[in-house]
Amino acid sequence: MNAPDPLARRRVRLAWLAVALCIVLILLFSGEEFAARNTSGILGPILRWLFPQMSADEVYRAHVLVRKTAHVTEYALLGLLVFRALRLSLAVSLARIALLGVALVLGVAATDELRQSFLPSRTGALADVGLDVLGGILGLAAIVAAHRVAGIGAPAPPPERRRA
C-alpha cells in the first residue's frame, strides 16, 4: 500500500489555507471600515494631489472606478488560489477545475454581498456579484491559458489504495 506523500498533503493544506486567507481578506475589505464614505476620505485627497485639475465629479467617478477595480482584482486572486487548491486536491480536467472554481467564487461573492446588505454603511448589489465573478473568471482563465500554453493537463490520478 502506498502511503500518501506528506509533502503533497502539506501543499494541499497550504493551498486551501491561502484560499481561506483570501476569503477572510475579502470579507474584511467588505466591512464597515472600507465603506465608500471611509475610503473616499483616503482616495479623494490622493486623487486630488495626483490630479489637481480633477473636478469633484471626476474624483467621485475615479473613486468608484478604484473600488470596482478592487472587486475584480481581489476575486481574480481568489480564482487563482482556488484553481491551485483544486488542482492539488483533485485529479480532474482543467475545465472541470475552472468550473468548480467559478462555483466557489460565485458562492463567496453572493455570500459577501448578502452580508453587506445587512451592514448600515454598505449595500449588497447583484452588479457587484457580477463584477466579482468576472474577476474570478479572469483569474481562472489566465491560469488555465497558462497551463495550456505550457502543455500542462490534468494531474495523474492518485494511485488506488489496496484494502488489506
> Of 14-18, 41-45, 88-92, which one has max mean pLDDT?
14-18
Cβ atoms within 10 Å, residue 28: 10
Is a pLDDT exceeding 50 seen at residue 35?
yes
Q: Tens of pLDDT along 42-84?
A: 888 888 899 899 898 998 898 889 888 988 999 999 999 999 9
Is a pLDDT exceeding 90 seen at residue 137?
yes
- Amino acid at residue number 143: I
139 burial (CB, 10 Å; 0-12 / 13-18 / 19+) is buried
